[in-house]
Structure 1
Amino acid sequence: MFPKSVLITGSNRGIGLGLVKELLKISEIETIIAGARNPEAAKDLQSLSKDNSRLHILQIDVTDDNSLKNSVKKVEDFVGARGLNMLINNGGVLDAYRADGSPNKDIVMRTFEVNACGALLASQYFLPLLQKASVDSPGSDLSPGRACILNIGSDCSSQELNVNGFNDKIHLAYKMSKAAMLSFARSLVADFQNLDIKVLVTTIHPGWVITDMGGPDADITVEESTSAIVKSIGKLNESHNGGLFDRHLKEIPF
């Protein structure tokens, strides 16, 4: 079941922009909110919004509390009393950092701030709107049609694959941050169960994608990645709560 309303962070380019394009193809989705740190510079988003009344562009910086607070009010204006059905935490950074390189706390902390802390804070700030959608939905099953937090994670957060020497040597900080993202997703699931909050939380690895972050030698295009993710969104259910999956919903080991 697809959600009626979706908010995506980091929508100005790459996977985020690709998700916006694919979500616009789903007629059941009535409201798509594309978040970007600098909307004025997001020319592709601006162009899309001119032809799509369902698409709204929102200034949001997940590392800035004031920006998050202000964005909640604006999203509430877009979705109204029915609340927000789905938050996609897509915003992220990838800076080279390796064990045998020069120590650089700033790179490590910036990576954590955006990829892990920013996604967690966005989830918390928008939780009241997600809960509003959840409470107003019939039944008790977890689904994107009810309320869902979807993290765009990475297979490099898998400790099993990491122990086996998976991935390259330059993404130490990135791998740490994505492991932290997966950890908070699992923790949210446990806490939501204790608090009786009916919000599905899951994490999807988009694949190695040809973007500014993924580089030109990556395996798949943005369209190949995001079209699969959007198809998978329509299939999400309680069995995916707290898990790590690839874009086709094949489970990835922890």
Structure 2
Amino acid sequence: MFIFGNILVTGASRGLGLALVKTLADMDQVERVYAGCRRIEEAPDLVRLSKLHHKIKVVKLDVQNDLSIQLAVKEIEFEIHDEGLHLLVNNAGILEMLMLPLLRTAAGKKKVAGVVNISSSVGSTSTIRSQNVLSTGNIVYGMSKAALNNFTTSLASIEKKNRIIAVSIAPSWTKTKIGGHSAPSSPNETATAILSVVSNLTFKDSGKFFDDTGIDLPY
């Protein structure tokens, strides 16, 4: 059973990222949720949510800007350097490298820490032929998620000795900016499903690719 504590969610301004932050803040075993957001002034729903939940702290974080990342890491590190970061949810971009010291600190104290990379079923090169991904946008998106999955397996191998679990999780079709309004699942439903998978992670799962019901997906 995975141990929650201090958590950072990137891409938290809306959609699935926002729903993950809200769902995490409602969990008793969660201590703090850092919600990474590129432009805080353009995230009124996140700011409003942070005022309702004392566990949530909004952090200015542009995952494509090195200085923004460094400042965000310093801000988080200042508050939790002794405890570390127990879970990093990469809903936008990849933030592992600068967060590794905090993840290793948490793993050293709690015997486990985790990285969850939000992927997609179109990132599975094994099943790509059976999916309707013929548009250029979907092909490029799938390529980016396949690369993300590759990174997950590499991180899992490298950080095994430090007791850091790394997995990719593909959300179901969700009503978001990317998923559109026709999707059957709400962001809150998908967030709950993803976190249910995370809560049951063990070291034997590190490096794997799951859907949001916990079923293994082929890379």
Indicate the TM-score class for this superposition, using the shorter chain for normalisation: over 0.9
Give the counterpart letter for 2:144 in structure 1: S
Per-residue CA deviations over 1:23-79 (Å, capped at 9, x if unaligned) read 111011010000000012111111111121111000001111111111111111232
For residues 166-245 of structure 1, the aligned pairs below 5 Å read 166-170=131-135, 171-193=138-160, 196-245=161-210
TM-score by length of 1: 0.82
Structure 2 residue identity aligned to 1:180: A
Equivalent residue for 2:66?
65
Match of 1:142 in 2: none
Partner of 2:102: 129
Q: CA deviation at 1:253?
A: 1.5
Residues 31 and 79 of structure 1 are in contact (CA less than 8 Å); yes or no, is this contact kept in structure 2? no
Deviates more, 1:7-16 or 1:76-85: 76-85
Moved over 3 A (4+): none
- Aligned equivalent of 1:112: none
Secondary structure of the residue that 1:167 maps to in structure 2? coil
Query: Matched residues in 1 for 2:209 and 2:184: separation?
Result: 20
Distance 1:19 1:80 in 2: 23
In the aligned structure 1, how far is the partner of 2:207 from the partner of 2:140?
23
**Structure 2 residue aligned with 1:147:** 113
1:160 and 2:126 correspond: yes
- Please give the secondary structure, in 1, of the residue aligned with 2:204: helix
SS in 1 for 2:81: helix
Structure 2: state its 5+ residue gaps. none
CA contact (8 A) 1:14 1:222 kept: yes
**1:21 to partner: Cα distance:** 1.1
How many equivalent residue pairs?
A: 216
Alpha-carbon separation, structure 2, partners of 1:186 and 1:233: 16
* Aligned equivalents of 2:27, 2:132: Cα separation in 1: 34
Letter aligned with residue 152 of structure 1: I
Paired letter, 1:179? A
How many Å separate the matches in 2 of 1:3 and 1:60?
Answer: 22
1:20-31 map, 5 Å: 20-31=21-32
Structure 2 distance, partners of 1:22, 1:207, is 17
Q: In the alignment, residue 32 of structure 1 is paired with which amino acid?
A: V
User: Rg: which structure is higher?
Assistant: 1
> Is the 1:12–1:42 contact (alpha carbons within 8 Å) kept by the matching residues of 2?
yes
TM-score when normalising by structure 2: 0.95
- 1:61 and 1:207 map into 2 onto residues whose CA distance is 26
**Unaligned runs of at least 5 residues, structure 1:** 92-117, 139-145
Closer, same or farther: CA 186–57 of 1 in aligned 2, 3 Å: same
Equivalence for 2:90: 89
Offset of residue 80 of structure 1 = 3.4
AA paired with 2:63? V
1:150 and 1:204 in contact (8 A); partners too? yes
